[in-house]
Amino acid sequence: MTRIEQLTEWVGDGGVVVLSGAGLSTESGIPDYRGPTGAARRSTAPMTYQAFTRDPAARRRYWARSHLGWRTIGEARPNGGHRAVARLQALARVDGIITQNVDGLHQAGGAHGVVELHGNLARIVCLGCGALTARAEHSARLDAANPGFAAAVTRVNPDGDVDIDEAALDGFAVVDCASCGGMLKPDVVYFGETVPAARVSRGFDLVAGARTLLVLGSSLTVMSGRRFVVRAARDGIRVVIVNQGVTRGAQYADLTVDAALGEVLPELVGRVESAAIPS
């Protein structure tokens, strides 16, 4: 039996929970951290929660870079991999989706009930009053506060910001909460923050009820996602990893497939649909 045939059999059996990472979105134009697009080589360190909240210069630098980066992230569209996951959910083969991504492309591709471990860049949260604002509204306010701002982008990073010339930051104005004047940040988990306990608990609940944990496009380098693989393996739940490149979850996997998700997942859907048609 080939790997794709084994994958088809297990997914066709149902009871699948998907755990997705940045590799699922690379074909939508969003680079990943460690896979073939290799944004782990970025020249600027990712923003930490401590720096963002305590250092006004760091916060201004982040917002300038993120404002430009949102033009790429916000315009990204779901690819064949996202649509395939949504189709498997519609076919009642996928019972739940946990994602480490912050791009919202699972939902844009038709999926529902997605557990967004690290939040979503399309939302802005006030650290003072907790109000949520759509990113489009916030971007319009930043445009109004910074007419003519247009720095040359040298690289887009997977967490939604970009690399630009530091000199281009001069005079960039940050806007605060329109309701209370509090500090605003994207509704995502920064380095130095912890994933909200309710999201982690929901993820573990999904895994506990699964027959197969299907990892898509994640190197499983950070414990945020790897803990679900460790738990599944511990509890005797099948672990399947489809990813391009090295993954730290290989020791836990019952099956690994090293291939492009945009090719494998649509083929998988076709095979599952064909198998479901009575002969």
Q: Give the list of residues 6+ apart from residue 163 with CB closer than 8 angstroms, or none.
A: 42, 43, 44, 65, 153, 154, 155, 157
Number of alpha carbons in the 13 Å side-chain half-sphere of residue 41: 6
Query: SS in 3 state form for 3-34?
Result: HHHHHHHHHHCCCEEEEECHHHCHHHCCCCCC
Please provide the DSSP assignment of 123-191 as one string.
EEEETTT--EEEHHHHHHHHHHHSTT--PPEEEE-TTS-EEE-GGGGTT------TTT---EEEEEPPB
164, β-bridge pairs: 153
Q: Which two tokens stand for residue 99?
A: 């994602």
Q: Nearest Cα to 93, choosing from 240, 234, 254, 262?
A: 240
- The length of the chain is 279
- 118 assigned to active site: yes
- How far, in Å, CA of 87 to CA of 93, rounded? 9
- How far, in Å, CA of 228 to CA of 276, rounded? 29
Catalytic residue among 67, 106, 118, 138: 118
Distance of CA 92 to the CA centre of its chain: 23
Q: Give the list of residues 6+ apart from residue 132 with CB closer than 8 angstroms, or none.
A: 123, 124, 125, 126, 187
Amino acid at 205: D
* Catalytic residue numbers, as ranges: 118
